[in-house]
Amino acid sequence: MQPWMWIAIGVAVAVVIALAVLWWLRRPSRQLQKKFGPEYDRAVEQLNDRQAAHDELQRRARRRESYELRSLTDDERDRYVRRWRTLQRHFTKQPATGLLEADELLVELLRDVGYPTDSFEQQAADLSVADAHVVSEYRDGHAVVIDVQHGRAGTEEIRRALLRYRDVFERVAETDVSETTREELS
Question: What is the number of structural domains in the chain?
Answer: 2
Neighbours of 129 (CB within 10 A): 20
pLDDT at 148 over 70: yes
Shared-domain flag, residues 176 and 119: yes
Helix (H) or strand (E) holding 16: helix 3-36
What domain range is 163 assigned to? 74-185
130 against 156, higher pLDDT: 156
**Residue where one domain finishes, among candidates 65, 95, 111:** 65
Shared-domain flag, residues 153 and 100: yes
In the chain, pLDDT over 90 holds for what percent of residues? 58
**Residue where one domain finishes, among candidates 32, 65, 98:** 65
Task: Give tens-digit pLDDT for 68-89.
Answer: 999 999 999 999 999 999 999 9
Q: How far apart are CA 71 and CA 33, in angstroms?
A: 27
Shared-domain flag, residues 87 and 142: yes
Residue 182: predicted pLDDT: 43
Shared-domain flag, residues 125 and 50: no
- Weakest-pLDDT range from 34-38, 57-61, 146-150: 34-38
Residue 179: predicted pLDDT: 55
Shared-domain flag, residues 58 and 92: no
Q: How far apart are CA 174 and CA 186, in angstroms?
A: 22
